[in-house]
Amino acid sequence: MSGETAKTAFVTGATGFLGSELVRLLVARGCQVFALARSPRSVEYLRRLGAVPVAGDLRETGRWQDEAVADWVFHIPPYAAAHRRRCPFTSIPVNQGALDAPLLDAVVPGTTRRVVYVADASFYDPAGPRPITEDELTCAPAGRRGPTPALDRLDGYAVAGLPIVTAIAGCIYGNGSWFRERVIDPVIAGRRVLQFGRTAPHVSPIHVHDCARALIHLAERGEVGSRYFVADNEPIPLPELARKFACAANQPLHVRRLPAIAAGLLVDRWFAHAVRFDAAFSNIRLRGTGFRLLYPTLEHGLLQILEVLHE
């Protein structure tokens, strides 16, 4: 394990919900952050966050390859930030190998101290409502198209000497992205919150600030080649996200219930997966590295969101 603080970091997915929070924290630590930007709008946004924008695309050679030799590399692929996009559940945003391989091949072991690769719960088959550990993961069947092979390839990079750690994030929430759009705004405005199906699959919430903190912690303390669930202490049924926010905000909750199959047409891939399958994760391995959550339960995180809304 490496407890040294990095002087430089390279971040992909830096304009997303999680990536933006990660950049803010790294900059606040005094780290020089180089962030991949695919558009002029992204360049300006990243500059406002305090990062050094690096224009480019992982599928094309460019200057970004020089910055990928930073002390820390954080790779937040499109599917890990898919909650900010609308896309059918069955679609795959990109050929993941076309994004992963160029970046991981550009990393220089010995120069880069850690690569933190961010995955999400939709990589795996449903595990039931009981929290599972990383060793109990059941990957998606070989016949199902999906990004799961991306994780299998990481093992080969670790064996070859790449100092890679995998973070598997739970249900990332906060004052933004899908949680703002699908929970906060409708509840505050008195509109109906969309809920899908008649069952209540379990999810593993994690406040976006804690998730970003955990990624940095894993860059410092994560064991090379290991996988870590990044989630809070209490998996909950998915509908509880809206119910508990409405209760904390002292607002009535109005629900519009639709068939589960409609989720694939109306919401993003991550959320469509969440309304159909349990994803209850245990964070015992992450806590074993010494990481402590600022928001160990959803109730703690909702209080922080309400404080921001009332400012």
How far apart CA 253 and CA 251 sit, in angstroms, is: 6
Q: 277 φ, ψ to 5°? A: -130, 145
pLDDT of 96 reads 67
pTM over cut 0.85: yes
Q: How far is CA 227 from the centre of its chain?
A: 14
- Give pLDDT tens digits along the chain (311 positions): 455 667 999 999 999 999 999 999 999 999 999 999 999 999 999 999 999 999 999 989 999 999 899 999 999 987 555 444 433 333 344 566 678 889 999 998 889 999 999 987 666 666 678 888 888 765 554 444 444 566 778 888 998 999 999 999 999 999 999 899 999 999 999 999 998 877 788 889 999 999 999 999 999 999 999 999 999 989 999 999 999 999 999 999 999 988 877 766 666 666 666 666 788 899 999 999 999 999 999 999 999 999 999 87
* Structural tokens at position 282: 């245990």
pLDDT of 122 reads 66
- From the CB of residue 229, how many other CB atoms can be counted at a distance below 10 Å? 25
Q: Euclidean distance between the first and final Cα of the chain, in Å?
A: 40
Return the CATH architecture of domain 8-173+205-234+280-295.
3-Layer(aba) Sandwich (3.40)
Question: Residue holding tokens 């910055």?
Answer: 67
